[in-house]
Chain A
């Protein structure tokens, strides 16, 4: 085999995504199969074409892994998503309340109005992004082995509700159409999935440490 082609590696991001979504044993087999075909394609059709093929395979494989993650443990996944939904519902005002309490405590409004303005608008959004990440982590801990399926489902529901809410505000209450509330909801949805990525990565690292020991 051509030594130059030996060093051709598949896209690292795609490999990482498969590792995130597939159970550890299945990830090993899938990545082995993909690498085997990728190497053949790289030597016959070129690296760029092989990388394109690898990405197409990865994206379609992720969709199947998400589906089978749900099918193998539907109740656990639904329970985890429901828990996340309830946490979102009841903890949604916590960042605002906490920020208001601190701002009042230190009388920021009177002494540093610009700081007050920042925290009352962007600060609350940042707080909600952190809260969404935390909720994503909790959901991923509960949905053991299906971290990505559960957090992606929750993120999708959240983004969908955000879009519905924004449309309703315009249609029912004749609010002016602005993109920001919807973008915030998308940011919260992504933060929820990031929570899943954090827990999944931590679990993979723990498994690797145990195997090495």
Chain B
């Protein structure tokens, strides 16, 4: 039993986006990556609300970059997945694989 120590759907998506982006992961790139891959428009507020929750759970860590003129002198906040976050995403992936094993999802709905 893992209690509340699990990834919600959007948390799962965000962690996967962070893993894809690696050291380029900050608000803009995470939002765009999700939009590109899932074709769903997300707000920057939703991204940060989820990233803050993931950071509180210890699944991600953040650090500030330098302020840039393109951002009106404001800094970026970069994120990376922690070992605990990696374990959580692996657990979620295994659970999904186990649940979808043997299902013909595409065939059932086409």
Contact = CB atoms under 8 A, between A and B. Distances in A.
B34 to A, nearest CB: 13
Interface residues of B, number: 22
A68 B49 contact: yes
Chain B CB within 10 Å — which of A28, A37, A39 has the most?
A: A28
Interface stretch (A59-67, A112-120, A161-169): A59-67
B49 A60 contact: no
Contact of B44 (A28, A33, A63, A68): A33
Interface in A4-46: 26, 28-37, 39
Contact of B45 (A32, A39, A61): A61
Nearest to B29: A33
Nearest to A68: B49
Counting contact residues on chain A (CB < 8 A from B), the size range is 20 to 34
A29 to B, nearest CB: 5
Interface of B: 26-28, 31-32, 43-46, 48-49, 52-53, 67-68, 70-72, 74-77
6 contacts: A29-B76, A33-B26, A33-B28, A35-B71, A35-B74, A36-B28
